[in-house]
Amino acid sequence: EFEKMPWPLVILIAGGNVLGYAVEKSHLLEMTAQLLLGLPANVWIICAVSGLIMMAAGSFVSHTVAALILLRLFAKVGEALGHAKLLVMTSIIMCSGAMPLPISSFPNLNTFSVENGEGVQYLSTIDFVKIGIPCTLLAYCGSISITYGMSYIFGL
């Protein structure tokens, strides 16, 4: 099975590590932190915007890479607001919910590589897009509402 993996997609996921390095060295994270801290001092609005950022990142790079790149940023912004745990929790739920492409997560990639007896893939990229976009939007709504509310209830 390992030899049958779609290597261009595997290399694309591995390229996310290089992307993380480039984002860090370009100071893009510091600029994003300033953008978030420049928003109105409403924790829900900052959670909503950070969820959008995580949704975009988690959709186009693997969840692991998105978390490695962005969670430190959200922890710093949340700490400045006095709600580090809340911002990290809502962001990580969104990271896990971003799934519109085969490259979004390893399970997506693994599923994308499954073939029938004739070597034809069961799923195509458009299949992921059709189901993944509505699921990702649903995860976004859940991460900024249900997770946000539960985090407040449990004191995060």
Q: Give residue-wise pLDDT tens across range 25-43.
A: 787 777 888 888 888 878 8
Using a 10 angstrom Cβ sphere, with 0-12 exposed, 13-18 middle and 19 or more buried, the burial of residue 12 is middle
Show Cβ contacts of residue 19 under 8 Å, excluding neighbours closer than 6 positions: 61, 65, 69
Q: Which of 3-7, 62-66, 125-129 has the lowest mean pLDDT?
A: 3-7
Residue 72's pLDDT is 85
Task: Using pLDDT thresholds of 50, 70 and 90, give the confidence band for residue 137.
Answer: very high
Q: Which long-range contacts (CB under 8 A, 24 or more apart) does 63-67 make?
A: 63/95, 63/96, 63/98, 63/104, 63/105, 64/16, 64/106, 65/13, 65/16, 65/17, 65/19, 65/20, 66/16, 66/95, 66/98, 67/92, 67/95
pLDDT at position 130 is 93
pLDDT tens per residue, range 111-124: 888 888 888 888 88
Question: Is the pLDDT assigned to residue 12 strictly greater than 80?
Answer: no
pLDDT of residue 65: 81
What was the pLDDT predicted at 59? 87
- For 55-76, what is each residue's pLDDT tens digit? 998 888 878 888 888 888 888 8
Q: Please, what is the average pLDDT of the chain? A: 83
27, 46, 32: which is closest to 91 by C-alpha? Answer: 46
Distance in angstroms (rounded) separating the CA atoms of residues 19 and 121: 29
Q: How far apart are CA 151 and CA 72, in angstroms?
A: 19
